[in-house]
Amino acid sequence: MAHVYVLVEHDRGRLKDVTAELITAARPLGVVSAVVVGEPGTATGLAPALAALGAEQVIDASAADYSRRIVTPEVDALHALGAANPAPIVLAATQAGNEIAGRLGARLASGVLANVSAINADRTAAHEVFGGTVDTTAAVGGTCPIYTVRPGAVAAAPQPGAGALAPMQLPPASAKDVTVTSFTPAEAGARPALAGAKVVVAGGRGVGSVEGFSEVVEPLADALGAAVGATRDVTDEGWYPAETQVGQTGVTVAPDLYIGLGISGAIQHVAGMQTSGTIVVINHDQDEPFFRIADLGVVGDLHEIVPALTAEIAGRR
C-alpha cells in the first residue's frame, strides 16, 4: 500500500499545530508514517496525539545528543527511511524544513517542491505564486518526491490512525556535523507567537514610529489577545523586531482575523497573509491596494481610529 513520511514538528516534545496540517496534506499520497526525530522518549510521548491526527505508524528516530545537533538528525533519519523504503516525504515549509528538504533532495536524488499549498494523489502539488495572484500545479520526480507545505495553507482534518510505534537507529554525529555548544531559548512574551496566532494585528509605515507600536498597535493587540506583526519597511526602520515581519521574506500567517494598520498592501506583504480568514484594513488613503483584499476597510487616520477601537473593545470585555 502506498505510504508517505511526514516529519513531525515539535518543540522539545511539544507538538506544533502545523503537524496536523502536514498529516492532512500528506494523506492523498498514502498511509501516513509520522517521523519523530528528537530526544529519547519524545516519540512515545507524542504517539497518542499523532495517532489521533491520522498517523498509522510513528517512527521513533531518537538520539541522546539530539539537542546538540541541528538539521542533520532529521536529514539522516529521512534519508535512511527513503533509501530503504522509498516514499514521498512531507515537511513544514519553515526555515529548517526547507533546509532539510534541500539536503534530502540531494541525498535521495529526488525533486523538491517548496512552499506548496496542497498535495495531490498523483504526486503533483499546488503553489500560490506572485503573491497569490496565480495558482500553479507542479510535478516532481524521483522515488522520494519531497514537499514542504506552507503553514496555515491546509485546514487540519484529523482522522484517527493506529499510531504503531516503530523504533529506528539514528547514525551518530559525524565530524562534519555542526555541534551546538550552548543554547538560550528566546524569551517568550505574553502575546501569542505570530506563526499560528488566531488573531494578528499588523502595523506598517503608517504607524509612524516605535512609540506608534507601543502606544497604538500593541494595546489593540492586547485587547484582542492577538500577536503583533509588521511590514518589512517597519522592521527595516527598526521600529519593531525583524522576526515579526509578515510576508514573502518573513513569516506566513493565516489567522482567523488579520487587522492591518497603515499598510499599503504591497504584493510581498500580501503573500504572507492572504489566506487569513477575515481581513480588516485601516488606512487613510482609500486608493491603497490593501483595500482590494479587505473584508472590511476603514478609511481614516489610524492614530484616531485605533485608540477608539481599543477602548471600545476593552469596554465590552
Ligand X SMILES: Cc1cc2nc3c(=O)[nH]c(=O)nc-3n(C[C@H](O)[C@H](O)[C@H](O)COP(=O)(O)OP(=O)(O)OC[C@H]3O[C@@H](n4cnc5c(N)ncnc54)[C@H](O)[C@@H]3O)c2cc1C
Distance of CA 165 to the CA centre of its chain: 26
216 is in an annotated binding site: no
Q: Which of residues 162-221 bind ligand X (CB under 6 A)?
A: 204-206
The reply to whether 284 sits near ligand X by the rule CB under 6 A is yes
Task: Round to whole Å and give the CA distance between 277 and 197.
Answer: 12
Count other Cβ atoms within 10 Å, centred on residue 241: 12
Nearest-CB residue to ligand X? 247
Q: How far is the CB of 301 from ligand X (least distance, A)?
A: 4
Residue 135 makes contact with ligand X by CB under 6 A:
no
Q: CA dihedral defined by 89, 92, 95, 101, rounded to 10 degrees?
A: 10
Q: Is 283 in the site for ligand X (CB under 6 A)?
A: yes
**Was 300 annotated as part of a binding site?**
no
Residue selected from 117, 252, 264, 276 as contacting ligand X according to rule CB under 6 A:
264
> Distance between CA atoms of 16 and 147, rounded to whole angstroms?
18
Query: Is 231 labeled as ligand-binding?
Result: yes
Q: Which stretch binds ligand X (CB under 6 A): 31-39, 49-57, 68-76, 264-272?
A: 264-272
- Grid cell 502506498 — which residue? 2
Give me the numbers of helices (H) and strands (E) for the chain, helices first please: 9, 17
Annotated binding-site residue? 141: no
Q: Give the whole-angstrom CA distance, residue 278 versus residue 55.
A: 32
Among 232, 254, 274, 291, binds ligand X (CB under 6 A): 232
Q: Note whether 258 and 273 are within 8 A (CB).
A: yes
Q: Minimum CB separation from ligand X for residue 93, in Å?
A: 14
SS3 at position 297: strand
Q: Does 303 bind ligand X (CB under 6 A)?
A: yes
Q: What are the residues binding ligand X (CB under 6 A)? A: 204-206, 231-234, 245-250, 262-264, 266, 268-269, 272, 283-285, 288, 301-303
Q: Known binding site for FAD: residues? A: 205, 231-232, 245-249, 262-269, 283
